[in-house]
Structure 1
Amino acid sequence: MGKAVVLLSGGLDSATALYLAKAEGYEVYALSFEYGQRHKKEISCAEKLAQKAGVKEHIVVNTNMDAWGGSALTDSSIAVPEADLDTGLIPATYVPARNMIFLSYAASYAEAKGAQNIFIGVSEVDYSGYVDCRKEFIDAMENAVNMGTVCSVEYGKRIKIHAPFISMKKAEEIKLGISLGVDYSSTWTCYNGEERACGVCDSCRLRLRAFEEAGAKDPVQYRQL
């Protein structure tokens, strides 16, 4: 199947994407980011997941998106809000253009490694409404990547951005992940970096609801339910 770069945050979605890429036969190169986020628990999980999955290479990119803030995840003066999944408003945890930045790095890494595939675990079904988790954005980024890389423009080796969960409910994704052997105890989804997941932020609430709908037990411990 060739080579694939997987954006591996250490969360539930990226872990499932990692195992799916492996199951489909790709030689996997994992890419994680320290971007000035509130905590490094996800990075630790990403390292464990990459080791367990036996990826070819795992690189952690350091970038200081906290220098300009603009998000509860990169600016300590902005509190992480409790979830309101029915509000329809994009929460303060949205990080400006984060997936645009991450996919740009992934495209550079993919071209350097001769990989024609990038996996990202975004969904526009069970999500917080982030604009960079929508199919229109993914399609636009794939087009931009293939207009701005030599491998595509000069040699016709197009890079495909795979977003396998874009139209999938998170419960379905969890069922898939369980069938693939994903160790969800080695993932971290909470926006807060405490010893236990908070259970009340958007990310925790979406995760908990999905495990319940999937009829599975979430192995992560929570402070508040």
Structure 2
Amino acid sequence: MKVSQFIISFITLALVIPFSNAYDPSPLQDFCVAVGNLNNGVFVNGKFCKDTKQAKADDFFFSGLNHAGNTDNDVKSNVTTVNVDQIPGLNTMGISLVRIDYAPYGQNPPHTHPRATEILVLIEGTLYVGFVSSNQDNNRLFAKILHPGDVFVFPIGMVHFQVNIGKTPAVAFAGLSSQNAGVITIANTVFGSKPPIYPEVLAQAFQLDVNVVKDLEAKFPSKN
């Protein structure tokens, strides 16, 4: 009897634990508007929440995504982020939004979002987009050329990119499955870490001459 009870308990735990760890707990209130003031606040998902009776429409509002971002930079693109820092009412909702502007031949360079899957829709222009799967999947490239109205998905954690291959500006909007998806730009992270990674380490990892690595590291520190 004890053996059968143990087996049943084990199977129950095996079934329940994966599901209990798969998602954030469901909110037990309508919303949890983030505030910076610690007084009388409840700490949820990295933010303190105001009394729900004090919430107002502006807590769920952002204006300005109709304006193009400044693409006068090295990569010729600009990401306008609308996450919990811009809309406090997004706290605990598990969703955010970005607008991406690309100058002709500009790019959103290879990067990852550690906490979110991204779904992108192209509004104007022509983009070459893609992501690379993990080592376990032999680092396969999944890529497409997008035209206005096309949609592409970048799975959570995968290195991905977008490049404007047209002669005119491009505009895209993307939704992310996190209130604060995070971003790790590969080149900035690897070659612009503070303090720098030893050049000899990166030279061996990337199969580059150590002087090439030193030159790359000299280009990035001020951008982190």
TM-score normalized with structure 1 length: 0.23
Structure with more of its chain in strand, by fraction: 2
Q: Work out which structure has the larger RCO, using CA pairs closer than 8 Å and 6 or more positions apart in sequence.
A: 1
TM-score normalized with structure 2 length: 0.23
Structure with more of its chain in helix, by fraction: 1
